């Protein structure tokens, strides 16, 4: 029976070491596919009659818009997590044997995510309204 336990330990070590390697390889594959799709899109724009510099600018602007509010989102999530931890401290919940400790922190993170969504939504509506007023 000890032979199986030794194999289980070796298996656990091998799997724990392979997780970062797989994560790095998958992120590299994702980056390569992203670059390939950007190149294909740029070529399609050039074939449609757009010059190369304009196609590059259009693709870069599209990527920047996608991550516009990521800092706000992460900030609200972390603030919510911190408020959940403060609530746990006030209520005096022991994190070792109580699942409610993690529920309160997750609820705080959810509230932070909802807050960031509302702020992003309002800012996006305001930007669209400003763009329409400029035209």
At a CB cut-off of 8 Å and minimum separation 6, what does 133 contact?
none
Do 38 and 66 touch, CB atoms closer than 8 A? no
Q: Where are the alpha helices (DSSP H) in the chain?
A: 2-47, 52-66, 70-91, 99-134
The predicted-structure confidence for 35-81, as pLDDT tens digits, reads as follows 898 888 878 877 888 777 777 777 776 655 566 788 888 899 999 99
Please count the other Cβ atoms lying within 10 Å of the Cβ belonging to residue 76: 22
pLDDT at residue 96 above 60? yes
- CA 91 to chain centroid, in Å, comes to 31
Tell me the pLDDT band of 132, cut-offs 50, 70 and 90. Answer: confident
Do 120 and 73 touch, CB atoms closer than 8 A? yes
Its pTM stands at 0.51
């Amino acid at each position: 029976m000890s032979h199986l336990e030794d194999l289980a330990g070796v298996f656990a070590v091998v799997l724990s070491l392979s997780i970062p390697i797989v994560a790095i390889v998958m992120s590299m594959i994702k980056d390569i596919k992203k670059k390939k799709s950007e190149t294909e899109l740029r070529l399609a724009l050039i074939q449609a009659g757009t010059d190369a510099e304009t196609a590059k600018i259009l693709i870069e602007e599209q990527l920047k818009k996608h991550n516009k509010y990521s800092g706000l989102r992460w900030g609200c999530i972390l603030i919510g997590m911190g408020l959940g931890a403060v609530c746990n401290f006030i209520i005096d919940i022991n994190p070792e044997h109580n699942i409610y400790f993690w529920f309160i922190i997750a609820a705080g993170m959810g509230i932070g995510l909802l807050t960031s969504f509302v702020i992003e939504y309002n800012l996006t509506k305001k930007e669209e309204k400003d763009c329409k007023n400029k035209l």
